[in-house]
């Protein structure tokens, strides 16, 4: 965490520069964007006249509307209760009028729509010299569309960082007990540096015996942890139908495959994969390396789980079959049924 904070402050935020800067922090859901943003806020907040951390903007704007975000921002910065703003356009004008001479630090967390940025931090001239507007999102395209000054991608934790986080959650100390090292390494392999998974599983395993750890790890091979899948699914649900289909195809069949070949196949399926793959990459749902398509193992598990939900106990009714065991079972069942006819 410390190295990421130092990198952001030194190479992206430049807290001592006079101009107004918009900085975007992006990465897959659960990778630690909000945690990093809060740490940045706590480290530099004293350098500003006022600060505001708008958390969970996606959920808040969906439930309460953009005006509620504007009122919260103004109330925090002006240190007075601001309410009853007529509409989001009035709110935007008020933000510009009241904040344009103030040096502020505004953190806008978990943005998923461009309008959220346009109505809360529409332009640099809305804020006084030296202000910093820091945005977290899973979608780098939103940051590009809003013309931010710099974008920072949050990558997964390295092995040492991941072990430390898991150990602190599971044992409240670091390093873990020696007789749990092997089990911890199995969890690290499963989580692949994703802080969300490490925290959820570490908390779940806290106080449990080594046998219980082993049993839980064995269960994860076939049944992903519900809370992890629910949080990752938010990104999938935000896709349009064709991009959801592309995501599921990659999860089930095309992880590690040549991008050009997969594009040809998906184009034949009329899924418009050129833009679709770009959208998935922008939202950190896939990565493209050496012209190959990749995704985090937990995102692949999300895809599998979504397909399984179509008919949990009857693989033959799934839209896709990727498991050799399921394929063999379905073929055997169909063969038996054919003989019966």
pLDDT digits (tens, 9 = 90+) for 191-238: 999 999 999 999 999 999 999 999 999 999 888 999 999 999 999 999
CA distance linking residue 18 with residue 5, whole number of Å: 20
CA distance linking residue 35 with residue 40, whole number of Å: 9
Q: What is the pLDDT of residue 6?
A: 93
Q: Where on the phi/psi map is residue 295: left (φ > 0), alpha (ψ -120 to 50), or beta?
A: beta
CA distance linking residue 99 with residue 131, whole number of Å: 10
**In percent, how much of the chain has pLDDT > 70?**
97
Q: 6 and 141 share a domain? A: yes
CA distance linking residue 203 with residue 264, whole number of Å: 44
Q: 237 and 263 share a domain? A: yes
Q: What is the pLDDT of residue 340?
A: 40
Q: Is the pLDDT of residue 338 over 60?
A: no
Q: Is residue 85 part of a domain?
A: yes
Tens digit of pLDDT for each residue in 137-156?
A: 999 999 999 999 999 999 99
Tens digit of pLDDT for each residue in 100-124?
A: 999 999 999 999 999 999 999 999 9
Give the chain's domain count. Answer: 3
Q: Is residue 333 part of a domain?
A: no
Q: 126 and 198 share a domain? A: no
Q: Is residue 330 part of a domain?
A: no
Q: Is residue 334 part of a domain?
A: no
CA distance linking residue 208 with residue 102, whole number of Å: 52
Q: What is the pLDDT of residue 328?
A: 78
Mean pLDDT of 252-273: 97
CA distance linking residue 311 with residue 317, whole number of Å: 6
Tens digit of pLDDT for each residue in 320-330?
A: 888 777 777 77
Q: Is residue 47 part of a domain?
A: yes
| Bridge partners of residue 258, in order along the sequence | 292
Q: Is the pLDDT of residue 18 over 90?
A: no
Residue 273: band (very low, low, confident or very high) from pLDDT cuts 50, 70, 90? very high
- Look up the domain containing 180 and give its range: 159-222
Q: What is the pLDDT of residue 11?
A: 92
Q: Is the pLDDT of residue 316 over 80?
A: no
Q: Specify the CATH number for the domain of residue 313.
A: 1.10.10.10
Q: Is residue 341 part of a domain?
A: no
Residue 335: band (very low, low, confident or very high) from pLDDT cuts 50, 70, 90? low
Q: 289 and 176 share a domain? A: no
Residue 341: band (very low, low, confident or very high) from pLDDT cuts 50, 70, 90? very low
Q: 93 and 187 share a domain? A: no
Q: How far is CA 312 from CA 117, 198, 304, 308, in A?
A: 40, 27, 11, 5
Q: 13 and 134 share a domain? A: yes
Containing 103, the helix (H) or strand (E) segment is none
For residue 153, give both structure tokens: 């991608």
Tens digit of pLDDT for each residue in 27-74?
A: 999 999 999 999 999 999 999 999 999 999 999 999 999 999 999 999
User: Which among 127, 153, 179 is the end of a domain?
Assistant: 153
């Amino acid at each position: 965490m410390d190295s990421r904070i130092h990198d952001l402050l030194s190479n992206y935020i430049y807290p001592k520069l006079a101009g107004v800067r918009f900085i975007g922090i992006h990465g897959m859901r659960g990778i630690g964007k909000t945690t990093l943003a809060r740490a940045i806020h706590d480290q530099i907040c004293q350098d500003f006249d006022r600060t505001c951390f708008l958390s969970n903007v996606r959920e808040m704007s969906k439930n309460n509307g953009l005006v509620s975000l504007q009122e919260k921002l103004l109330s925090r910065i002006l240190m007075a209760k601001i309410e009853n703003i007529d509409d989001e356009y009035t709110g935007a004008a008020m933000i510009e009028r009241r904040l344009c001479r103030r040096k502020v630090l505004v953190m806008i967390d978990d943005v998923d729509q461009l309008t959220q940025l346009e109505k809360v931090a529409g332009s640099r001239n809305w804020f006084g010299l030296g202000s910093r507007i820091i945005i977290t999102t899973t979608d780098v395209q939103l940051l590009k569309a809003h013309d931010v000054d710099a974008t920072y991608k949050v990558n997964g934790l390295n092995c040492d960082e991941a072990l430390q986080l898991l150990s602190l959650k599971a044992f409240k100390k670091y390093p873990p007990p020696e007789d749990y090292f092997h089990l911890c390494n199995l969890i690290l392999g499963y989580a692949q540096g994703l802080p969300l998974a490490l925290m959820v599983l570490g908390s779940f395993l806290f106080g449990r015996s080594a046998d219980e750890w082993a049993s839980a790890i064995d269960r994860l091979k076939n049944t992903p942890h519900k809370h992890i899948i629910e949080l990752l699914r938010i990104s999938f649900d935000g896709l349009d139908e064709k991009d959801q289909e592309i995501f599921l195809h990659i999860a089930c069949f095309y992880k590690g495959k040549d991008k050009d070949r997969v594009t040809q196949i998906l184009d034949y399926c009329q899924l418009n994969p050129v833009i679709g793959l770009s959208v998935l990459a922008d939202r950190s749902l896939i990565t493209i390396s050496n012209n190959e398509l990749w995704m985090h193992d937990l995102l692949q598990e999300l895809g599998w789980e979504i397909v399984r939900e179509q008919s949990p106990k009857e693989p033959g009714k799934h839209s896709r079959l990727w498991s050799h065991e399921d394929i063999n079972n379905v073929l055997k069942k169909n063969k038996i049924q054919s003989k019966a006819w």
